[in-house]
Structure 1
Amino acid sequence: MAVLHIVLMILKFIGILLLILLGIFLLTVLGVLFCPVRYSAQGYKDENKYGGKAKVSWLCHLVSFSVWYDSSQGEAGYGVRIFGIPLLKVLEELSKRKEKKKKKAKAAKVQAAEREGREIPEQDKASEEKTSKESSEAKEALEEKGSRKEQRGEDFRQTEGKAQRLLGKVKAIFQIPGKIFEAFRKFQLTAKGICDKIRKIKNFLESEKFKRGMCLILQEGKKMLAHVKSRKIEGRIKFGTEDPCLTGEILGAAGIFYPLYGENFSIEPCFDQTVLEGTISLKGRMYGIVLLISAVKILRSRDIRYIIRHFN
């Protein structure tokens, strides 16, 4: 009975652990799908300097990633924070501690080796020098004999190589007509294959399945872009060129995108000087469930699967 009780306790502990892990996994999935990923960016530009910062956060800034650059200081950087703790600094401190431990262990080994080390007696040194001298003389004699044999073999190989090169040139001359005919035949086959591929690609692009699949991709892509685009844009920009006509054309092109940046963003043209300066800040968010629904719609479509099979 005692053994059975212990086994049941172990199984109970394993079951509780598995339930905890399953709960953590489900919470993570729900967080990714229903907790928004927020992003923000700021930038500036004036006569002498420019810079900016971008940040992506999740779970109410419990997890965040940021990058920045400042031309006045000439430096760029990035950082990762989890629960407000700078992860990169923690990893750097841990690596420094490991290096210190390695250095201490290496110094201890060196000190132990110095304490236990002994010098080689003079008699042993003389015998070692004598043995190494005799072995070097024997090696020199063997190398001299080998070099003579190699010289004779090299002369024979050179003569044989000249004869083979001459024979190869004669064969190449007789093979020229056959090579020309083979190249012409391959060109015909290649041209025919290219024409067949062009015909197949044209039929594929004109098929109804391809058109429906591309319409679905464009439709869902617009939805995802509308969902991901920034909800708030603020700032101002002052620009100008020496050509008033070009400045007016740029201002007209910027007016096309007015629905994107709205009234909180001002554009000031200068028609009498070349200038570019201003500030901008934007914020937005995205939900994983929205992107997942669009992705599932695209992947479940038979037309999309037909396009994927064609390219594979």
Structure 2
Amino acid sequence: MLHILWLIIKFILILLGIGLGLILLAVLLILFCPVRYSACGTKEQDDWKQITGQVRVSWLFHAVSLRATWKEGSLEKVFCLFGIPVSELLKKRRQKKAHTSEKKKETSGTGKTEKKRDTEKKRKAGNVTVESVHKEKIAELPKAEEHLKPKPEIQKPIAQEPSAEKTVSQEKKQRRNPFSSLISRIKKLFHGILAKLRNIRSTVRKITGNISWWRDFLEHPRVKAAISLVWKNAKFLIRHVLPTRASGEIAFSCEDPAVTGSILAILGMTIPFHKNCVQITPLFQGENYFRGNISVRGRIYGFVFIKAAIVIYFNKNIKYVIKRWKTRRA
């Protein structure tokens, strides 16, 4: 008996170990297997609609991939699992469902024809006569006549005429002095203006109190340290997400040479990102012109985001900021 129990416990422990191992493997893949992406685009004609581009995102050594292409003004998306497009699998499944539904319709049609035949046979073999039907109808006639008899009318109560006292009170209201109504309206307006002024005063006090609280909150040294930490991690994450490789050539010009120069100055600010791997050539020809191609690649690791989140969450200055925000104490 103990031997059997030990075998059962051993089997359960093996299953738990396999499950925990699979969960650990999935977590490690999510954290340390990068999500790779690549994008490319070209423009070789004057029409902006003739731009072609492609974006591809893959994970787990291209086992899971998504590809989107833009060509001739249309977007095409393909999602693949282990190199097999999911759209084809869905089409095959739909075709199978349609085939099975057609078979069901055919079988249901044959069943209906058989039922019709059975009903016709029953009608022919039935012993119901026309005379029995007429007798049933004649028996139902007196019941219908009882329902058609006129019901006794219910006498409605006569509405009483309005009393003379009400008419006298209405006449008195009409004979009131018109100056009293004007005075009452002026009083209502005056009270309404006073109430609005009081509300404005209270809102101004609240705004000034909030401004002073925000000023003290932002000027606190621990709050400044927390903001600098968040900004430092945000810059690190942006650098990690940006592409690691870039290449391409761009040639452009505008009708106004000054506009061309300002665009060149803006594009020059992007050199730290692509490390001068994209060649930009301005053409001061006095016409609108744009040609070029560009391609970028990059990767994203999951553990980088987890690390930044842990550093921010367990920092003492961040905890102080959260507590002060909840309590709103100076």
CA distance in 1, matches of 2:282, 2:29: 45
Q: Which residue does the alignment assign to 1:250?
A: 263
Q: For the residues of structure 2 that align with 1:35 and 1:291, how far apart are their CA atoms?
A: 13
1:235 aligns with 2:248: yes
Looking at structure 1, the residues matched to 106 and 209 of structure 2 have their Cα atoms a distance apart, in angstroms, of 73
Alignment of structure 1 residues 150-169 onto 2, 5 Å: none
Give how far 1:65 is off. Answer: 2.0
Distance 2:252 2:83 in 1: 39
| Distance change >3 Å, CA 311–CA 236, structure 1 → 2 | farther
| Code of the aligned partner of 2:232 | Q
Q: Distance in 2 between matches of 1:309 and 1:85?
A: 51
Q: Deviations over 1:128-178 (max 9, x none)?
A: xx99xx79x97xx99xx9xxx9xx9xxxxxxxxxx9xxxxxx9x9686555
> Rg bigger for which structure?
2
Alpha-carbon offset, residue 113 of structure 1: 4.2
SS at match of 1:271: coil
Deviation sequence 1:197-223 (CA, Å, 0-9, x none): 222222222222221111101111222
Q: 1:305 to 1:105 in 2, by over 3 A?
A: farther
TM-score normalised over the length of structure 1: 0.74
Q: 1:310 to 1:113 in 2, by over 3 A?
A: farther
Which residue is equivalent to 2:32?
34
Aligned to 1:277: 291
User: Which of these residues, 305, 308, 319, is aligned with residue 294 of structure 1?
Assistant: 308
Report matched runs for 1:1-312 at 5 Å. Answer: 1=1, 6-46=4-44, 47-48=46-47, 49-70=50-71, 72=72, 74-102=73-101, 104-105=103-104, 108-109=107-108, 111-116=110-115, 118=119, 178-272=191-285, 273-309=287-323
Q: How far off its partner does 1:225 sit?
A: 2.2
Distance in 2 separating the partners of 1:63 and 1:187: 60
1:111 CA displacement: 4.5
Q: For the structure 1 residues 17 and 103, does the alpha-carbon distance in structure 2 shift closer, same or farther, using more than 3 Å as the test?
A: farther
Give the AA of the match of 1:245: A
The whole-number CA distance in structure 1 between the counterparts of 2:194 and 2:57 is: 64
Consecutive unaligned residues of structure 2, counting only runs of 5 or more, are: 160-169, 171-180
Matches of 2:24 and 2:278, distance apart in 1: 42
* Pairwise CA distance, 1:236: 0.7
Structure 1 gaps of 5+ residues are: 153-162, 164-169
Deviations 1:101-142 (A, max 9, x none): 345445544553453254899969x97xx99xx79x97xx99
Query: Could you say which residue in structure 1 is the equivalent of 2:176?
Result: none
Give 1:33 shift.
1.8
- Cα pair distance change 1:192/1:228, threshold 3 Å: same
Residues 1:241 and 1:16: Cα distance change in structure 2 (over 3 Å): same
Aligned-partner residue type, residue 96 of structure 2: R
Question: Which AA in structure 1 matches 2:74?
Answer: E
Once residues 195 and 107 of structure 1 are traced to their aligned partners in structure 2, the CA distance between those partners, rounded to angstroms, is 79
**Number of corresponding residues:** 278
